[in-house]
Structure formats: C-alpha cells, structure tokens
C-alpha cells in the first residue's frame, strides 16, 4: 500500500484512469444531458486522460520534470470538450500544488485536491451546481475532513475523496432539473468518480466496489451519439456550435479580454492555461451561435491553432446554395480593387477620408448574401470591420471578420475559401491561412524618425515586417531583397509579392528570389498602392 504519491504512482494512477474511462466510455456518453445532450462526455474525458498519459510517455523515464507537471501539460493541450477541459484544469491545479514537492502524503494531497477544485471553479465562466465542479469540490472537502479527523494516511484520504465524490454525484439530479427529468446523474461528475476510484486502486491495490453507471430512466435508454429528438426529457441541443482551440503568443491581459468577450458571445466557457517549453498556452472551450466571432476573438488575443468546431445539434445534410455567401474586402487602391474583384470578392475602396463602418456595412448588406466574410486588410480597420459585422448580425446576416492586417493576408484567405464548406469552417480555414502568412512592406520615409532599426532620413527606403522597421537603406531594391532574406530565414515555402507602380522593382526582387531562394514558390501581383512600392507575404 502506497504511503505517498511519487512520480511512478502518479503515472500509474493516470494509466489506470485511462483503462477505467475506456471501459466506461459508452456508459458516460449515455448519461450526457448537460450542458447539451451531445453524448460525448465519456469520449472527451477519455481523450483528455489519454493525452496526459501520452505526454508522460513522450518524456520518458529520464526526464527530471515532475510527473504532475507533464500530466498537466498533456491534459491541458489535449483536453476535449467541456468536461475534458475541466478535468485538465483539475490536474493542472494539483500540479500547481504538488509539482516540485516531496511525494504527496495524505494531508498534502487533501489540501492540493481542495485547492484544485477551487481553481477549477475559477476556470469556468458560469459554474453550475450539480456538475463535475460540485463533485470535485465534495471530493476535496471529504479528503480534508478525513485529515481533520485524524485519518492522515494516504489510503484513508483517497478513499474519503472517492466516497465523498460518489455521495455528491448521487445528489446531482436534485441540483439540476435537466438531470432529474432525464433520470441521470451528471456525466462529467461520474467520470471524475471513476478517475478517483482509479486513484484508490493505485494506492491500495484494491478496486472499490461500486454499482454500475446507468440511466435511471431505463425506458428512455439510448445509444451512443444519440439524436436529441429521441430524448423527450432533455434540453434542446442547439442552435450553436462547440468551439475549441489552443491559444499561443498571448499574455494574461489579452486572455482576460478574450474571456470577457467569449462570455458575452456564448456559454459553457472554460479557459485553462499551462506552461510549456515555449511559453504559456491556453485551451479555450465555448458554446456559441456565432463561430466566426469566437475565432476572431481568439485571433485578436494571440495565435489560435488546432481549432475545432462541432455542431451542438445534428445538422441535416444540405447542398450549398449558390449566391448565399459573399466575401467583402477593404482595399486601398484601384489596382487592389481590380485584383480582389477578379477573385469574385466585393470591395470597399478607401477614399481620401478612409473607410467607415457604414461603408463596410452597406457593402455587406448590398451583397444580399446570408453569410458574409469581411477582410479589413489593415490592422487599423479590424475594429471598424468588427463593428460593421455586429450591426449586420442585428440585421439577420451571419458575418465573420477575418482580421487580415495586410492585403497579402487577404489574398491568402480567399485562396482557401470554399463555399461548399459550412460557414464556420470556411471562416476558420480563411483565418488560419491569413494567420500563417507573415507580412512585410517596403516604403519610403517622408521625414526623419527614430525606428526600431535606427534613425531614418527623408527619402530612405524602409523595410518593415509585421509593422516594425527592420531594414533601412538608400536603395529600394536592396532593402526589398534584404527584407525578404530576413523573412525567409525563419522558414517559408511561398512568397506573395504585391508590386506597386514600379514594375522594375518587382523584376529585381523576383530575380533575387530565383537566385538566392530557388525552392520558394513565388506569386506576383501588380496593382499595389502607389505609396507602398512592395508588399510581401510569406507562408
């Protein structure tokens, strides 16, 4: 019988949990009615636990990192669904308390479990009682009560936690009407009980004797991946979609803003962060009606990746209807208007006074399309496009803003647009293509200024990447070539060139790429604005 949880015991706990969740996956899915009856709670918990163990296996026995930390990182980055994301938060909460400490004895584990349950509540935007969270809190309270009563041994503490969780699970139908009417206990809480029973088995060597998980309303028993219409006592599953993604390159302030924005867009919001070797990352989960707005919020906060969108209600197969989707792009020159227009895109051309949200809204409404993607193509115009999109949604249009900050990102987005896809999936694909395109431009300084590359003088050629000046010189072509060399040194397979009035500059740059970077695929376009001799996109 284990007296403390060392790294080996922690790993064994989660391997046992994977075995138990695998055996009970269908039963847990069958219980799933809250927050939506999508029948995947068991699947999501299993996939999350598997991701945690896979991370531990990938590190191998030679790692000096705590097993708690590795499991937490694997769970957060691999978390699936609402319950899986909360489970990942619970594991991360345990890691916060126990990683880097001596092997956890009874009192240490009890205190850590109670604290982890508290932090799990904090990760959920609108916590409900009668759910996974309630069961987790009861487990922590029962464990600390055992310690307070003098039952300090690890075996006593983990048994108390598992028993306390079971008592709380049985009470969940009395706390949520959806559970009571469907004749079930909470599926996420039931999954946590299995995970805690796996801990008891690991510590004591004896598997707890428990009654099988089953619906109490056997007359309405149903199969895996059921349709909500066959379950008359369950809440409706739609409309809306489950959106989940990992978020990198963000800070705590931007994540806080993201949390606030997503809370206003939907529900079942869970945001969990974890430290990785390359920096802190977050797993973001939310149920929304407007998929495009949720993805847009993620892009504004950082770099979302591994994006998934799942309908909350089964959608009948439908053929795409021509003319129901449009793309609206904001451009800064007649040449760009012709270029984007040639791709079937509706354009709003900036005049001397710029572009207003009314201009963008008018073009969206004039399209007569029910689904519209907006490409602002300028970082300063992203908020303008977002406000116009919000007004268009009030008028009954489904609008997604892909926050392109340069025309080359807009070209990358329309290159992957596919009206045969679901609208939300199309917006995601376009946003990912734009985000994967690093952009730069060559301009001419009109006054003396201090830049990140030094002081420039009027008439100097400036090479800027993502808005920051990185090259200053007197020869436009030389600056353009050096700028491309710097961008391609970080990798890339394709370069998109948007050339202004000086075709000779475009010729020079293309010759340079063919000579120095012969494996790079080059796409060249004319029609760039006169004030920007060259714009570049690298993918």
- Tens digit of pLDDT for each residue in 140-185? 999 999 999 999 999 999 999 999 999 998 888 888 777 777 778 8
Ranges assigned E (strand) in 226-295: 241-248, 266-276, 279-288
* Residue-level length of the chain: 539
Percent of the chain past pLDDT 70, that is, above it, reads 91
Last residue in a domain, options 278, 311, 344: 311
Q: Which of 522, 434, 451 is nearest to 484 (CA)?
A: 522
Model confidence at 32, pLDDT cuts 50, 70, 90, reads: low
- The two beta strands, 266-276 and 279-288, are antiparallel
Model confidence at 10, pLDDT cuts 50, 70, 90, reads: very high
pLDDT of 12 over the 90 cut: yes
- What three-state secondary structure class fits 526? coil
One-character DSSP codes across 381-425 = GHHHHHHHHHHHHHTT-EEEE----SHHHHHHHHHH--TTS-HHH
Please classify residue 96 by burial: count the beta carbons closer than 10 Å to its beta carbon, then call 0-12 exposed, 13-18 middle and 19+ buried. Answer: middle
pLDDT reported for residue 319: 39
**Domain check: are 375 and 404 in the same one?**
yes
Last residue in a domain, options 285, 311, 337: 311
CA atoms of 280 and 74, how far apart (whole Å): 13
**Domain check: are 194 and 273 in the same one?**
no
Model confidence at 219, pLDDT cuts 50, 70, 90, reads: very low
Look at residue 226 and tell me if it is in a domain: no
pLDDT, tens digit (0-9, with 9 covering 90-100), for 369-396: 889 999 999 988 988 998 999 888 888 8
One-character DSSP codes across 151-193 = --SHHHHHHHHHHHHHHHHHHGGGT-HHHHHHT---HHHHHHH
**Domain check: are 510 and 488 in the same one?**
yes
**Domain check: are 346 and 418 in the same one?**
yes
pLDDT of 125 over the 80 cut: no
Please, which residues bridge with residue 48 across strands? none
* 20-24, 179-183, 377-381, 479-483: range with lowest mean pLDDT: 179-183
Look at residue 232 and tell me if it is in a domain: no
CATH number for position 259: 3.30.70.1710
Give the residue-averaged pLDDT of 493-510.
90
pTM over 0.95: no
Model confidence at 38, pLDDT cuts 50, 70, 90, reads: low
Please classify residue 399 by burial: count the beta carbons closer than 10 Å to its beta carbon, then call 0-12 exposed, 13-18 middle and 19+ buried. Answer: buried
Q: Which of 467, 499, 494 is nearest to 480 (CA)?
A: 499
pLDDT, tens digit (0-9, with 9 covering 90-100), for 243-295: 889 999 999 999 999 999 998 888 888 899 999 888 899 999 998 888 878 88
Alpha carbon distances (Å) from 230 to 34, 37, 220, 235, 381: 16, 11, 8, 12, 47
Tokens 């979609």 belong to which residue?
241
DSSP H/E element including 349: strand 346-349
Tokens 């519209």 belong to which residue?
372
pLDDT reported for residue 247: 92
CATH number for position 196: 1.25.40.340
**Domain check: are 143 and 16 in the same one?**
yes
CA atoms of 33 and 117, how far apart (whole Å): 22
CA atoms of 196 and 166, how far apart (whole Å): 10
Between 289 and 50, name the one with better pLDDT.
Answer: 50
Whether omega for the bond prior to residue 239 falls within 30 degrees of 0, making it cis, is yes
Look at residue 294 and tell me if it is in a domain: yes
CA atoms of 96 and 208, how far apart (whole Å): 28
Whether the Cβ atoms of residue 385 and residue 393 lie closer than 8 Å to each other = no
Please, which residues bridge with residue 522 across strands? 495
CATH number for position 336: 3.40.50.510
CA atoms of 516 and 488, how far apart (whole Å): 10
Give the residue-averaged pLDDT of 324-329.
90
Model confidence at 232, pLDDT cuts 50, 70, 90, reads: very low
Please, which residues bridge with residue 275 across strands? 280
Please, which residues bridge with residue 310 across strands? 242
Angle at 68 between CA 274 and CA 84, to 5 degrees: 60
pLDDT reported for residue 160: 95
Gyration radius (Cα) of the chain, Å? 27
**Domain check: are 296 and 351 in the same one?**
no
Domains: count for the chain: 4
CATH number for position 479: 3.30.1180.10
Angle at 271 between CA 128 and CA 264, to 5 degrees: 70
**Domain check: are 378 and 520 in the same one?**
no
Look at residue 426 and tell me if it is in a domain: yes
Distance spanning both ends of the chain, measured CA to CA: 56
**Domain check: are 399 and 462 in the same one?**
no
Range of the domain at 430: 325-435
Please, which residues bridge with residue 456 across strands? 449
**Domain check: are 407 and 474 in the same one?**
no
User: Burial code of 437-461, b = ≥16 C-beta within 10 A, e = fewer?
Assistant: bbbbbbbebeeeeebeeeebeeebb
Q: Which of 133, 134, 14, 19 is nearest to 82 (CA)?
A: 133
CA atoms of 17 and 128, how far apart (whole Å): 25
Q: Over the chain, what is the mean pLDDT?
A: 85
Model confidence at 93, pLDDT cuts 50, 70, 90, reads: very high
DSSP H/E element including 59: helix 41-59
pLDDT of 462 over the 60 cut: yes
CA atoms of 132 and 42, how far apart (whole Å): 12
**Domain check: are 273 and 333 in the same one?**
no
CA atoms of 227 and 211, how far apart (whole Å): 27
- What three-state secondary structure class fits 217? coil
Last residue in a domain, options 383, 407, 435: 435
Model confidence at 203, pLDDT cuts 50, 70, 90, reads: very high
Look at residue 430 and tell me if it is in a domain: yes
Q: The tokens of 326 are what? A: 């449009």
């Amino acid at each position: 019988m284990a007296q403390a949880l060392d790294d080996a015991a922690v790993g064994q706990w989660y391997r046992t949990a994977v075995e138990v969740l695998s055996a009970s996956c269908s039963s847990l899915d069958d219980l799933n009615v809250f927050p939506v009856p999508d029948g995947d709670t068991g699947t999501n918990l299993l996939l999350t636990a598997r991701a945690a163990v896979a991370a531990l296996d990938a590190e191998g026995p030679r790692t000096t990192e705590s097993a708690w930390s590795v499991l937490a990182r694997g769970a957060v980055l691999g978390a699936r669904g609402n319950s899986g994301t909360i489970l990942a938060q619970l594991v991360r909460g345990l890691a916060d308390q126990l990683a880097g400490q001596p092997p956890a004895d009874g009192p240490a584990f009890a205190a850590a479990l109670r604290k982890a349950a508290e932090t799990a509540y904090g990760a959920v935007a609108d916590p409900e009682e009668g759910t996974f969270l309630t069961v987790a809190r009861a487990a922590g309270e029962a464990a600390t009560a055992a310690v307070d009563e003098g039952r300090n041994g690890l075996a006593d503490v983990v048994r108390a936690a598992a028993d306390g969780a079971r008592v709380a699970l049985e009470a969940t139908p009395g706390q949520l009407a959806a559970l009571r009417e469907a004749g079930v206990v909470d599926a996420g809480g039931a999954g946590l009980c299995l995970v805690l029973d796996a801990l008891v088995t690991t510590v004591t060597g004896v598997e707890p004797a428990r009654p099988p998980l089953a619906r109490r309303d056997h007359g309405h028993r149903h199969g895996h991946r059921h349709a909500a219409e066959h379950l008359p006592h369950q809440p409706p599953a739609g409309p809306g979609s489950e959106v989940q993604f990992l978020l990198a390159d963000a800070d705590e302030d931007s994540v806080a803003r993201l949390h606030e924005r997503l809370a206003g867009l939907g529900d079942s919001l869970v945001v969990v962060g974890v430290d990785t070797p390359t920096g802190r990352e977050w797993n973001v989960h939310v149920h929304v009606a407007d998929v495009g707005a949720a993805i847009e919020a993620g892009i504004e906060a950082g770099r979302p990746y591994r994006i998934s969108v799942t309908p909350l209600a089964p959608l009948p197969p439908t053929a795409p209807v021509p003319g129901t989707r449009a793309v609206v792009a904001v451009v800064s020159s007649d040449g760009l208007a012709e270029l984007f227009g040639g791709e079937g895109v509706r354009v709003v051309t900036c005049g001397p006074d710029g572009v207003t949200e009314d201009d963008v809204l008018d073009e969206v409404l004039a399209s007569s399309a029910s689904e519209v993607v907006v490409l602002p193509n300028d970082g300063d115009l992203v908020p303008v496009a977002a406000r116009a999109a919000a007004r268009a949604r009030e008028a009954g249009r489904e609008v997604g803003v892909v926050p392109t900050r340069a025309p080359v990102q807009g070209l990358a987005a329309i290159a992957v647009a596919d009206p045969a896809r679901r609208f939300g999936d199309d917006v995601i694909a376009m946003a990912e293509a734009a985000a994967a395109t690093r952009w730069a431009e060559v301009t001419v300084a009109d006054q003396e200024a201090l830049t990140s590359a030094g002081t420039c003088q009027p008439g100097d050629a400036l090479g800027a990447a993502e808005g920051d000046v990185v090259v200053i010189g007197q020869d436009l072509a030389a600056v353009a070539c050096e700028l491309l060399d710097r961008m391609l040194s970080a990798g890339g397979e394709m370069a998109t060139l948007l050339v202004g009035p000086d075709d000779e500059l475009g010729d020079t740059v293309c010759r340079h790429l063919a000579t120095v970077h012969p494996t790079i695929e080059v796409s060249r376009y004319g029609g760039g604005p006169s004030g920007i001799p060259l714009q570049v996109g690298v993918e």
